[in-house]
Amino acid sequence: MARSRPAPAPLRPAAAGGPPSWVEPELATLTKDRFSDPAWIFERKLDGQRCLAFAGPGGIHLMSRSRREITTTFPEVAAALAAARSGDLVVDGEIVAFDGTRTRFEKLQLRLGVAAPSAALLREIPVFYFVFDVMYAAGRDVRPLPLLERKALLARSLRFGDPLRFTEHRERDGEAFFVQACRDGWEGLIAKRADAPYRSGRSRDWLKFKCVSEQEFVIGGYTDPQRSRAGFGALLLGYYDADHELVYAGKVGTGFSAKTLHSLHDRLATLELAEPAFRKGPLPGRRGVHWVRPELVAQIGFTEWTRSGELRHPRFTGLRDDKDPADVVREVAVARPQS
């Protein structure tokens, strides 16, 4: 039986006509299932920064998921889009940096937040924009179209060549593709319902198959460094629950470079609080602990959750300035919806 689907919300028009000034991105839901299904397609999950690109009469604007403009941070992407587009467009994708054949958020960190990268930095850390969807083209809102039709339209709407890359997909055989993805060191896969429209917000039409456990956490404190270590010892991490209370999820003390230890300590020192922002969870003792306002978001890899609700073997991979701390929740895997 066909499912009824809500129509996409009306696009917010640009001030002077042309494409919209903003579209809320569609977000994938973590799933515990691995499946093959002719009604779904499967794309590589990339370890980078989400980027929505708006190309209209006013030029190119690159926007992060949190609606922060990042056009000058990635000037080579903006220039390539300006040269390669045919007409006004709004497209969705991921900006990544490679370490060999793998995308690495840690490497991309060297470009994030740099408003005017030098020529040397552009050469040292080249980036690529993997475009996987289109929401506006040829003067119309194309979000109601089925995904495969949108991808065909996308392929016709841009001339792809580095740093612009079309996100290829496979059909049907998701299980074998997932095994290959993990063997090759990828983040995992995104499974997408082939006939679905583009729907803003968290969706079960897009599902995440993760090879590794990784998600964002809010930083709610830090500990003093020990012995010869500088900066800080560990970060205290948390996430928001359904009551929007900050829940303690443990601490992370690995994955930091010497530069990060110093620079992150300087930022955290300006956010100190007398009392913890955490409202739930067994907090560590106060000795050597500094509480901070929950304004920074860290990307953390880990092996699993313990029974007490803390992270096992966590590792810091970078800061996420494209994520709103209030949106950070514990990711819970769900079963895929039935076709």
Q: Known catalytic residues?
A: 45
Cα 20 to Cα 135: distance, rounded to the nearest angstrom: 10
Residue type present at position 60: I
- Domain boundary residue, one of 149, 182, 210: 210
Q: Are residues 191 and 84 in the same domain?
A: yes
Kindly tell me the burial class for residue 310, based on how many C-beta atoms sit within 10 Å of its own C-beta (0-12, 13-18, 19 or more): middle
Q: Are residues 146 and 251 in the same domain?
A: no
Q: How many domains does the chain have?
A: 2
Decide: 290 and 208 in contact? Cβ < 8 Å: no
Q: Which two three-digit tokens encode residue 230?
A: 């500088």
The continuous run of DSSP H or E covering 151 comes out as: helix 147-157
**49: in domain:** yes
For residue 62, what are the domain limits? 26-210
**10: in domain:** no
Q: Are residues 193 and 233 in the same domain?
A: no
Kindly tell me the burial class for residue 241, based on how many C-beta atoms sit within 10 Å of its own C-beta (0-12, 13-18, 19 or more): middle
**259: in domain:** yes
Nearby residues of 83 by Cβ (< 8 Å), 6 or more positions away: 159
Each residue's pLDDT, cut to its tens digit, for the chain (339 residues) gives 333 445 566 655 554 467 999 999 999 999 989 999 999 999 999 999 999 999 999 999 999 999 999 999 999 999 999 999 989 999 999 999 999 999 999 999 999 989 999 999 999 999 999 999 999 998 999 999 999 999 999 999 999 999 999 999 999 899 999 999 999 989 999 999 999 999 999 999 999 999 988 999 999 999 999 888 999 999 999 999 999 999 999 999 999 999 999 999 999 999 999 999 999 999 988 899 999 999 999 999 998 899 899 999 999 999 998 999 999 999 988 888 776
CATH of the domain at 274: 2.40.50.140
